[in-house]
């Protein structure tokens, strides 16, 4: 396990799991959000985003965190392990709500971009991360199921469907 993609719906705990795995395996974590988002929540142009991802995954020994379809080929093709956090919507929404409120209250800066979550964006905006999670959870589950099934013979695919599955995997001996 030297090139790992950790993915799942927003708020599923991808970064938390990636950090635990990285500590144990001696790998570095690559956050796709950090490569995608610029100041004032401006997305990187696709060519620049792809270039950044190619640069970060050109060597061996990484765990990439994120769900961006624009770069899935760059991440999943070289990955030897795909870790899918396929958690129930109520669990995801509870985690996402707590994380979002904490970030908004503490004014936590995200990915060195100067971006911060706010309570008004979380609850009152069309761009609400909570609304986004509600709208994409089922669609992500269906898409990831198809994509993982297609790659099951080529890659190690780990599907984690509960909090217990995640905790067990995070604590288990690494292959």
Give pTM, 2 decimals: 0.94
Whole-number percent of the chain with pLDDT over 90: 86
pLDDT of residue 5: 98
In the predicted model, what is the mean pLDDT of the chain?
Answer: 94
Give the β-pairing of 3-8 and 62-65: parallel
pLDDT of 119 reads 85
What domains lie within the chain, and their CATH numbers?
Answer: 3-171 (3.40.50.300)
pLDDT digits (tens, 9 = 90+) for 29-83: 999 999 999 999 999 999 999 999 999 999 989 999 999 999 999 999 999 999 9
| Cβ 130 vs Cβ 93: under 8 Å | yes
Instruction: Provide long-range contacts, Cβ within 8 A and 24+ apart, for 69-77.
Output: 70/46, 71/32, 72/147, 74/50, 75/5, 75/32, 76/5, 76/147, 76/151, 76/155
Query: Are the C-beta atoms of 157 and 85 separated by less than 8 Å?
Result: no
3-state SS track over 142-168: HHHHHHHHHHCCCCEEEEECCHHHHHH
In this predicted structure, the answer to whether residue 96 has a pLDDT above a threshold of 80 is yes
Residue 123 CA, chain-centre distance (Å), reads 22
**Residue 34: what pLDDT?**
96
Given a cut of 80, is residue 124 above it in pLDDT? no
pLDDT for residue 120 is more than 90: no
């Amino acid at each position: 396990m030297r090139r790992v993609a950790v993915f799942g719906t927003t708020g599923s705990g991808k970064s938390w799991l990636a950090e635990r795995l990285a500590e144990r395996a001696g790998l570095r974590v690559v956050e796709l959000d950090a490569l995608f988002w610029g100041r004032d929540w401006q997305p990187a142009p696709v060519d620049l985003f792809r270039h950044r991802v190619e640069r970060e995954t050109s060597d061996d020994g990484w765990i990439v965190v994120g769900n961006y379809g624009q770069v899935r080929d760059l991440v999943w093709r070289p990955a030897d392990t795909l870790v899918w956090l396929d958690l129930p919507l109520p669990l995801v929404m509870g985690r996402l709500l707590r994380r979002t409120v904490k970030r908004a209250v503490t004014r936590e800066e995200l990915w060195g971009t100067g971006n911060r979550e706010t309570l008004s964006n979380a609850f009152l905006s069309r761009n609400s991360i909570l609304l986004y999670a509600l709208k994409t959870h089922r669609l992500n589950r269906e898409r990831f199921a198809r994509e993982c099934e297609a790659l099951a013979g080529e890659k190690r695919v780990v599907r984690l469907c509960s909090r217990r599955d995640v905790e067990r995997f995070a604590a288990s001996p690494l292959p």
